[in-house]
Amino acid sequence: MKLSKLVGERIKEVPNGASLKSHILLLRAGYIKQVSTGIFSLLPPAQKVNLKIQNIIRQEMDALGGQECLFPVVMPRELWEMSGRYSSISSELLRFKDRTGHDMVLGMTHEEAAVHMALNTVKSHEQLPFMIYQIQTKYRDEARPRGGLIRVREFTMKDAYSFHNTQEDLETYYKKVYDAYNRIYKRIGFKNFISVKSDTGMMGGKVADEFMAVTEVGEDKLVICPKCGYASNMEVSVSVKDENDHTVAGEMEEVFTGNAHTIEEVCSFLEIDVKHTAKAVCYQTSDGKLVVAFLRGDYEINESKLSKLVRSELEYVDVEERGLCAGNIGCVNLTLPEGSYVFYDQTLKGLENFVAGANKKDFHIKNISMTRDIPNAEFVDISMTKEGEKCTICGEPLTLTRGIEIGNIFQLGTKYTASMGMKINMPDGTAKEPIMGCYGIGVGRCLASIIEEKADDKGIVWPMTIAPWHVHFCPLRLDDENVSAVADELYKKMLDAGIEVLYDDRNLSAGIKLTDSELMGVPLRVVISPKTMAEAKAEVTIRATGEKIFIPIHDLISELKMMIKDEIEEIEKSARE
Amino acid sequence: MKLSKLVGERIKEVPNGASLKSHILLLRAGYIKQVSTGIFSLLPPAQKVNLKIQNIIRQEMDALGGQECLFPVVMPRELWEMSGRYSSISSELLRFKDRTGHDMVLGMTHEEAAVHMALNTVKSHEQLPFMIYQIQTKYRDEARPRGGLIRVREFTMKDAYSFHNTQEDLETYYKKVYDAYNRIYKRIGFKNFISVKSDTGMMGGKVADEFMAVTEVGEDKLVICPKCGYASNMEVSVSVKDENDHTVAGEMEEVFTGNAHTIEEVCSFLEIDVKHTAKAVCYQTSDGKLVVAFLRGDYEINESKLSKLVRSELEYVDVEERGLCAGNIGCVNLTLPEGSYVFYDQTLKGLENFVAGANKKDFHIKNISMTRDIPNAEFVDISMTKEGEKCTICGEPLTLTRGIEIGNIFQLGTKYTASMGMKINMPDGTAKEPIMGCYGIGVGRCLASIIEEKADDKGIVWPMTIAPWHVHFCPLRLDDENVSAVADELYKKMLDAGIEVLYDDRNLSAGIKLTDSELMGVPLRVVISPKTMAEAKAEVTIRATGEKIFIPIHDLISELKMMIKDEIEEIEKSARE
């Protein structure tokens, strides 16, 4: 490819509205262009990376015996009603009417379509297990698209669905897919990714793992045990909570706290430790029921866990409208409307001598005892894990980090096969619903996340296995006829040797050409100039390390082929380990 | 791939509602499954064919210097308003609102997105010409989806867009794409396809060619000159019309024709030749203007041409409501509402002694003379071409046939670059709108059309270049341990040799297995059985011809490789001619 003809431009300025490294660099280096909020066109270099990532995924799915197929992007309402998801998924599922007035949806995942394909076409237990998968465009009507390709509305995804006769068979297969996922990320070039236990969310099912590119800019909070390897999305993480102070409480006492409403204000006003407080967090369910959750003042609420307890999304509630006293809500003398939920987090278990709101304007209560004053409280786990809390498995301190979700796998059970009436004839003559697993990878997320992991202050750094080109060929002083003749010849030789090369054939300054090459991130840069040619050499720079090697021009092609092969093999080898 | 695990089933019965050969066979052989009207899932074998066709197209686009990219499926209204197509395309363009109430569309073509990508990222004439293309899912809200993959709502398409400094450059490039298209269809395996001049339709532009798989079941009517090679879609075809009878007319005379309303009825009632009649065809434009077209009774109206004349779609009109006398409309004494259109087809030019409606219930007029009685008539070309009419180029008789449109190419001009404000800096310092071409191929249409061309009464016949597998391996009597051991070994050897093989590992009757193999259409079938093994041979059947060859088992792998290679090379060679 000649750079003079490549569609796209390289720009110096940080584009408006972009803050994430991958977003900025993809825009600056001419890889993506925004068409609408959360909707991008991929320019030719990005599509090259996209296809290479897809190919790695395809190879690993095929190696598992996966059968590639293609489900529709546009599906009829009826299909999604069979599983119950037409109503259970909120506005992320894009619904519209076709020209005949028929209700349709845009696919954000394809469990229903997968079961539809297998329904009546797979009938015998002997055909199981099997896995069908596709690599395709999906649409999710995200409320808050952000970060370039990290959280988009339209994206390319590999989604796979496996069908099994028994739970044991699913678990065996699930482990194989898990291993294949690890190979996929390693082959893409990730060094810093982990898998964590995760929430099953709208998919249903009981067991789920997420694959996370570990990075401080990730949206997901992760809890890790450096000792035993426990790793979990914060949403479902567990930990041994801080021990509480069990010193027996004195008598309860109402105290004036005035404008002190937040936990920090109350602690400061009363000069007490935050560990001797209980705070209240309030929501309403989607059908309007009030939810009040109490937890120790130094903990944060885990909305994901609370949401599961009430089986509803959690919405903002105006507590004053419900007769509560905002800023002074407490667990003593609390009167709630009928049908409300109240929960006590485990961090409050056995707590003595603590302060909570008095349910009365400007007042809190001191010296509350959980055991004495709220003897019937039952405790649940609805608090976030804190850095340094103990691992429930090995007792070591946990650490927190963040990640970008680059894949997820689920043991779905029979949610979809049962609701859609798919049955398999078993050897004993009975008919049984197959047990399913499903497995997703976001291709664009991988593309952006690898930039987050590897980019430096000069630009993108692509691993050789997914780089748009292997070599960025940058002859300098193309106005010099010798340079230009040798450059054209070398370009041709590279192409003939099967080297994927981007040839910067523009007669521009060294500054522009070298800066462009660093920005674009091709793994090897080859420079020739009157100076290097005087020694019959070419300068090869390894983008990832900055290391420079001078290679005699007549050895250049074979040396480049070797370097490319070596780097690909090193990555492939690491994936097999 | 083991057939026992392949998702999908083979069925004997012709599915309800399917009449087209490709539709029936794709359903019966387990290639597609309908999800909604005009929306299908591709089962694994169909997706294999799909990817192979895509790959052929990709290679040819890359060879032209095409840069693969990816445009969004979902686009904002604003983008389509820039070109004016948000309002000019009717309900085929699917419009919907996203969760924020923003108007969006589903992409049915991507001219706007292509210009959007190049806008401000390509600035200099030196970067032109370039071509960007994608292979992607599209959605068109067809009023009448039909025929399986022939006319669908959701489909996979390759669409390409080229940008040029001059019209000459576009024309040179257009010819190159034209040649590449011919290579693509030949490589896919088409023998019977042609290119025809075509209408530019909603794309705009002036020159367009369609590629047609020639078949009697095609939706498009084609006009061909077997002598000089003139070939055209009926919609834009031209021909030398039949000579008219110029014998001078007698006096006009009103005659009672009673219930005779159609041309056939009137001719039979008055005992006259249909060539001595003029019939009227009526429509309304989309803004309600009446359109009356007269043509000689033995000709059919060409709605496409008439539609262009009035620059509107043609809609049904109730002529009685407009004060006309249905069944008796004629060109003499015709009174039309103000603003109506009236057209005379060239087939009426100079016609004498003819009959037309009297614009009066139960009456027609005899002895009309075009020159004498309607002296101011101007003649236009709005009639269909008839078999046997003369070619306007060489004068030989034309023949009619039908075809399925499997691709189209357009010289677009500056319609999109001008409306979207894309300008290129020219060498003389001026800025100029680039001139565009666009080039589409429907992947699913190709898949279905090749079945229409090649299938026989037993099932599908795939060309080797796009077959889902090269070999369908059908060992018979798998309950025989010898057969089963040799079969497993041969299967492994085929895989090791890189042969794409579907292994029918089911212990079923020869009847079922052989019938399934014929239905599925894999080019080579290999049978072993106790009988063939007694002679240490395998039976190889060529699906396309039915020819059977017995090959010693120890030569089987090398012979199969040779046969596969030979067929692929033969097809590839024909494409280079």
Q: State which H helix or E strand residue A63 sits in.
A: helix A44-63
| 8 Å CB contact of B70 and A106 | no
Query: What 3-state DSSP class applies to B237?
Result: coil
As a whole number of angstroms, the distance between CA A66 and CA A55 comes to 14
Helix (H, G, I), strand (E, B) or coil at A423: coil
Nearest-CB residue to A70 (from B41, B65, B120): B41
Check CB contact under 8 Å for A76 and B39: yes
Integer Cα distance of A566 and B149 in angstroms = 45
How many C-beta atoms surround the C-beta of residue A105 within 10 A?
21
Q: Which residues of chain A have a CB within 8 Å of the CB of B62?
A: none
Residues whose CB falls within 8 Å of the CB of residue A492, separated by 6 or more in sequence, listed in order: none
Do residues A176 and A454 make contact, with C-beta atoms less than 8 angstroms apart?
no
CB contact under 8 A, B39 and A122: no
Per CB-CB distance under 8 Å, the chain A contacts of B71 are 35, 41
- Distance separating alpha carbons of residues A306 and A519, to the nearest angstrom: 45
Could you tell me which chain A residue has the CA closest to the CA of B114?
Answer: A41
Residue of A nearest to B104 (CA): A36
Q: Residue B73 and residue A42: Cβ atoms within 8 Å?
A: no
Q: CB distance from B32 to chain A under 8 Å?
A: no
Tens digits of residue pLDDT in B167-215: 999 999 999 999 999 999 999 999 999 999 887 766 566 789 999 999 9
Tokens read off for A150: 């990290």
* Cα(B48)–Cα(B469) distance, integer angstroms: 8
Rounded distance, CA A188 to CA A158, Å? 14
Rounded to whole angstroms, how far apart are CA atoms B22 and B447? Answer: 9
Token pair 């709208």 in the structure block, residue: A202
C-alpha distances in angstroms, B569 versus A77, B59, B183, B563?
47, 16, 13, 10
Q: What is the pLDDT of residues B55-94, one digit of tens each?
A: 999 999 999 999 999 999 999 999 999 999 998 888 899 9
Of B42, B68, B76, the CB nearest to A69: B42
Contacts of B111 in chain A (CB under 8 A): none
Which residues are paired to B137 by β-bridges?
Answer: B156
> Domains of chain A by range and CATH?
3-238+400-454 (3.30.930.10), 253-380 (3.90.960.10), 471-576 (3.40.50.800)
B44 and A67 within 8 Å at the Cβ level: the answer is yes
User: How far is the alpha carbon of A560 from chain B, nearest alpha carbon, in Å?
Assistant: 23
| Ranges under pLDDT 50 in chain B | none
The answer to whether B72 faces chain A, any CB pair under 8 Å, is yes
Paired tokens of B51: 């990817």
Phi, psi angles (nearest 5°) of residue A28: -65, -35
Nearest chain A Cα to B32, which residue? A117
Residue B421, number of CB atoms within 10 A of its CB: 11
Q: Which of A2, A32, A35 best tests the B interface by mutation, with the highest count of B CBs <10 A? A: A35
A35–B137 C-beta distance less than 8 A: no
Of B136, B134, B183, B178, nearest in space to B160 by CA: B134
Contact B134 A40 (CB under 8 A): no
Q: What is the DSSP letter of A249?
A: P
Tens-level pLDDT at each residue, chain A (577 residues): 999 999 999 999 999 889 999 999 999 999 999 999 999 999 999 999 999 999 999 999 999 999 999 999 999 999 999 999 999 888 899 999 999 999 999 999 999 999 999 999 999 999 999 999 999 999 999 988 989 999 999 999 999 999 999 999 999 999 999 999 999 999 999 999 999 988 776 656 678 999 999 999 999 999 999 999 899 999 999 999 878 877 877 899 999 999 888 899 999 999 999 999 999 999 999 899 999 999 999 999 999 999 999 988 899 999 999 999 999 999 998 999 999 999 999 999 999 999 999 999 999 999 999 999 999 899 999 999 999 999 999 999 999 999 999 999 999 999 999 999 999 999 999 999 999 999 999 999 999 999 999 999 999 999 999 999 999 999 999 999 999 999 999 999 999 999 999 999 999 999 999 999 999 999 999 999 999 999 999 999 999 999 999 999 999 999 999 999 999 999 999 999 8
Closest CA in chain A for residue B66: A44
User: Is residue A443 within a helix (H) or strand (E), and if so which, with residue range?
Assistant: helix A443-454
Using DSSP's 3-state secondary structure scheme, residue A104 falls into: strand
The residue type of A356 is A
Cα–Cα distance measured from residue B564 to residue B526, given in angstroms and rounded to the nearest whole number: 13
End-to-end Cα distance, chain B: 35
CA distances from B375 to B254, B345, B349 (A): 20, 14, 10
Cβ contact (<8 Å) for A154 and B65? no
Indicate the Cα dihedral angle A29, B164, B181, B575, nearest 10°: -90
A79 contacts B117? CB cut-off 8 A = no
Rounded (5°) CA angle B227-B231-B236: 135
CB contact under 8 A, B35 and A79: yes
Nearest CB among A5, A42, A68 relative to B70 is that of A42
Contacts of B116 in chain A (CB under 8 A): 33, 35, 41
Cβ burial, residue B309 (10 Å; 0-12/13-18/19+): middle
- Would you call B41 and A126 a contact, using CB atoms and an 8 Å cutoff? no
Q: Which two tokens stand for residue B218?
A: 């095609």
The reply to whether B51 touches chain A by the CB within 8 Å rule is yes
Residue A488 sits at φ, ψ, to 5 deg, of: -60, -40
Whether B117 and A36 lie within 8 Å, measured CB to CB: no
Q: Contact B426/B434 with Cβ under 8 angstroms? A: no
Q: What order do you get walking across the sheet with A537-542 strand by strand?
A: A501-503, A471-473, A524-527, A537-542, A548-552
Q: Which residue in B8, B48, B72 is closest to A40 by CB distance?
A: B72
Contact B9 A153 (CB under 8 A): no
Residues 6+ apart with CB under 8 A from B518: B458, B459, B525, B543
Which of A32, A98, A154, A507 to substitute to test the interface with B, most B CBs within 10 Å? A98
The Cα of A453 is separated from the nearest Cα of chain B by a number of Å equal to 24
Burial (0-12, 13-18, 19+ Cβ within 10 Å), B432: middle
In chain A the first and final C-alpha atoms are separated, in Å, by: 35
CB contact under 8 A, A96 and B94: yes
Q: How far apart are CA A490 and CA A548, in angstroms?
A: 19
**Interface with chain B: mutation pick from A9, A27, A33, highest number of B CBs within 10 Å:** A33
Any CB–CB contact under 8 A between B89 and chain A? no
Q: Is the peptide bond before B129 cis (omega within 30 degrees of 0)?
A: yes
CB-nearest partner of A73 from B71, B73, B130: B73
The nearest alpha carbon in chain B to A116 belongs to B35
Structure-token pair, residue A538: 């070419």
Q: Cβ distance B437 to B474 under 8 Å? A: no
User: Between chains, do B70 and A156 touch, taking CB under 8 Å as contact?
Assistant: yes
Are the C-beta atoms of B149 and B142 separated by less than 8 Å?
no
Q: Does B11 touch chain A (CB under 8 A)?
A: no
Which residues 127-156 of chain B have a CB within 8 Å of chain A? 127, 130, 132, 134, 136-137, 139, 141, 143, 153-154, 156
Q: Which residues of B touch A80 (CB under 8 A)?
A: none
- 3-state DSSP assignment of residue B538: strand
A82 interfacial to chain B (CB closer than 8 Å): no
Assess B207–A contact: CB distance below 8 Å, yes or no: no
| Distances in whole angstroms, Cα of residue B366 to Cα of each of B228, B242, B344, B362, B372 | 41, 21, 18, 13, 13
User: Considering CB atoms only, which of B8, B35, B79 is closest to A75?
Assistant: B35
Question: Is cis: bond before B76, omega within 30 of 0?
Answer: no
Give pLDDT tens digits for A215-265. 999 999 999 999 998 999 999 999 998 788 778 778 999 999 998 888 999
What per-residue confidence (pLDDT) applies to B185? Answer: 98
